[in-house]
Structure 1
Amino acid sequence: MSLIFCLPHAGGGAHHYSGWAPYFAPGIEWEPLDYAGHFSRMNEHAYTTFEHAVQDLTDEMISRADGRPFAVFGHSMGGALAYEIAHLMVERQMAQNLLFIAVSSALPPHRRDPDMLRYYELSDRDFIQHLVDTDGISSQLAELPELMSNYLPLIRKDYQLYQQYQPQTRPLLFTPLFALWGEQEEVHNLKMPSWVDLSRVFVGSGIYPGGHFYWRNCLNTVTADISTIVEQLAACQTTGINQSLGVSLCQF
């Protein structure tokens, strides 16, 4: 049984991804997580720094895995968290417990624009319109004032947290890395392929029809591709991966 944790987008929660489980191949356990201060963890203090989020989520995964190796899928902000978690696992000398990471619609750290628009500083009306334009919320939900008054502060904090993320220059990962995004994400089409620069075991890219939340229209394909990666990595465990040289003995 292969365990995959899922980290949501900014303002998102485990419930957005819980429906994925039946689509994976047999033998894959899919476990979406909530961030502190969100949904099932509303009674906890929200993260104040990106580093705090990385440490908390790493601890949470290690605890839930209970000694089992695991993989991490992260969408948007969750993808950046997955990448930093991989490095923290290296620092803790636990890299062998991380099977792979899948970074979804999260720009590579070295291709992020430090002068990107600070969406969290927009007026409520403009911020809501941004969320609608990126399919983060539906236009129907945007018309519900009470819901928006509760939701906007949460997602603003997440956007700010992600904006404050200051990635460091580090050695290449030996953790297998898969990058995936929507073909209508113009900036991502230019920058997402650069994830190949950050891992010695880059297992490929997946480009799917749609925008930032591409998987809503092709979940079967996305989960099938991730399932294939799990199967290929399982085969590699038999063949072997020479991590000391950073050379995969399997072809993806």
Structure 2
Amino acid sequence: MMKNYHNSSLSLPRRYAITAVQAAAFFYFLHCSFLPFPAMQFPFPAMQCDLELSQNVIEAYIQIEEDKIEPMQTESPQYMSTWTWAYMQSFQEPSWHRALYKHLLEKLGKCSVLFFPIISKEEFHFTLLTFHKNERKWRHYNPLRSLGHRKEERCIDMARNFVNIVEGWLEYIRPQAQVFIETKKKPTLVKQKEGLPTLVQKDLTPTEELTLNWIMQNPLQFPFEDDMECAQQSVSSLDYGMFVMFYMDKIAQ
């Protein structure tokens, strides 16, 4: 269920809620399948199952939307996995390349908006962080601002932390971007069967070159906004996954 926000561009039509429920039912039997990254621990099994169910449904939605986009299509919505933030919470910074950096390099140059679904294991909750590249700003959408001031602030803090990590990576890459473009190569960590990963030079893709050119030509710090008008789920519901999908669908249009 949701509250009515007549003035919000992200108000939720009933037909979308039906679609999300159908999708959730379809993936119910899949949500306990093997996960690619370490599972997070929750004190209440029912909440863990619901969170994993929402996570799998959002992942399926992202896959469907990505399949509609041509590989070299520019000014397109681009999506980061729900597992990106979860993986970064489980591993230290040197391992983040797998979950975050390589995807930023591939997606940022060709996107109009970049979506980061964020999972809060403390609040059993999803929010959505978006980077609007043409508007040059970050925006955070929380489908349950009535969590309470302290919990709401934690969700905002997580989003701001994510922004700091991404902008820190942009600052780190900028001095090297020209060399990567000139050589058409990028240093890449490659996992070995035994021992530590090895740094090798790999060919730069056209979309990665777009990202590097954008990094060199633009400021790398952007204002952050917490959206106060987005549609809200009811306090007693666990519909955060549906609302995150709705936000992405509406913004991508």
- TM-score over 0.5 for the alignment? no
Return the structure number with greater relative CO, CA threshold 8 A, min gap 6: 2
Instruction: From the CA coordinates, give the structure whose radius of gyration is larger.
Output: 2
- TM-score by length of structure 1 reads 0.30
